[in-house]
């Protein structure tokens, strides 16, 4: 991550004024991100899930396990994390969704996920971090590998996209493998 040019990428909490733009991106059935983020889920189901999620966003305070990705102050995506069971076991699964295709391929995803990895290691007792995608999302796989994640699981032909079977792919990163990630972690 250190070899990337300086990008004005930040992670921040959601603000009420962010919700209308998020709603447009998330509920648009033609949004390009849908071709890469779980495209094996039926489109109508994704739309319904996203509508319910936007309703949730309008009614709840920001969640520390979810942040917006901003470039130059403009919101372009989101990151999230969830702790795998059992609680306190040290395994956190991370996600990233860049909604605006105009920022794809320029290092924004790498910078944002790198910041999210560091935040997760700083604020949780994470020992193992994972990201999960499908085999056709080669950009996500390359992004994770660029940050030091390694493939740890592949379920062959588990996902169907456009009539073609793809593997489900999970990559992992141990705390000790992240620069500055030594130690047991936990809130500072």
Q: Tokens for 135, please give them.
A: 């085999």
Span 130-139, pLDDT tens digits: 999 999 999 9
Range 9-177 has CATH code 3.30.70.270 = no
pLDDT at 54 over 80: yes
Whole-number Å distance between alpha carbons of 76 and 99: 6
pLDDT at 4 over 70: no
Please give the pLDDT value at position 166.
Answer: 98
pLDDT band at 167 (very low <50, low <70, confident <90, very high): very high
Enumerate the domain spans of the chain: 9-177
Please give the pLDDT value at position 7.
Answer: 76
pLDDT at 186 over 90: no
pLDDT at 94 over 50: yes
What does the DSSP assignment read for 42-56?
A: -HHHHHHHHHHHHHH
The share of the chain scoring above pLDDT 70, in percent, equals 92
Span 149-166, pLDDT tens digits: 999 999 999 999 999 999
Grouping H, G, I as helix, E, B as strand and the rest as coil, residue 177 is helix
Span 7-37, pLDDT tens digits: 799 999 999 999 999 999 999 999 999 999 9
Mark out the alpha helices in the chain (DSSP H runs): 19-27, 43-59, 108-123, 138-146
pLDDT at 5 over 90: no
Would you say the pTM of this structure is higher than 0.75?
yes
What does the DSSP assignment read for 137-175?
A: -HHHHHHHHHTT-EEEEEEEEEEEETTEEEEEEEEEEEG
Whole-number Å distance between alpha carbons of 119 and 28: 30
Whether 108 and 143 have beta carbons less than 8 Å apart is answered as no
Beta bridge partners, 135, equal none
Whole-number Å distance between alpha carbons of 11 and 17: 16
pLDDT band at 182 (very low <50, low <70, confident <90, very high): low
176 DSSP 8-state letter: G
Whether 149 and 131 have beta carbons less than 8 Å apart is answered as yes
Span 38-47, pLDDT tens digits: 999 999 999 9
The share of the chain scoring above pLDDT 90, in percent, equals 91
Whole-number Å distance between alpha carbons of 144 and 130: 9
């Amino acid at each position: 991550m250190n070899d990337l040019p300086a990008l004005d990428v930040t992670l921040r909490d959601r603000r009420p004024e962010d919700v209308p733009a998020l709603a447009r991106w998330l509920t648009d059935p033609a949004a390009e991100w849908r071709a890469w983020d779980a495209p094996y889920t039926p489109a109508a189901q994704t739309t319904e899930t996203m509508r319910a999620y936007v309703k949730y966003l309008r009614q709840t305070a920001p969640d520390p396990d979810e942040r917006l990705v901003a470039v130059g102050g403009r919101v372009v995506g989101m990151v999230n994390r969830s702790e795998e069971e059992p609680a306190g076991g040290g395994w956190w699964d991370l996600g990233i969704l860049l909604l605006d295709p105009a920022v794809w391929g320029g290092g924004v995803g790498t910078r944002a996920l790198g910041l999210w990895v560091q935040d997760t290691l700083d604020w949780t007792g994470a020992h193992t971090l994972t990201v999960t995608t499908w085999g056709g999302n080669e950009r996500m796989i390359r992004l994770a590998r660029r940050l030091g994640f390694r493939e740890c699981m592949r379920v062959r032909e588990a996902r169907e996209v456009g009539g073609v079977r793809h593997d489900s792919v999970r990559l992992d990163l141990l705390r000790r493998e992240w620069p500055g990630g030594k130690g047991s972690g936990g809130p500072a």
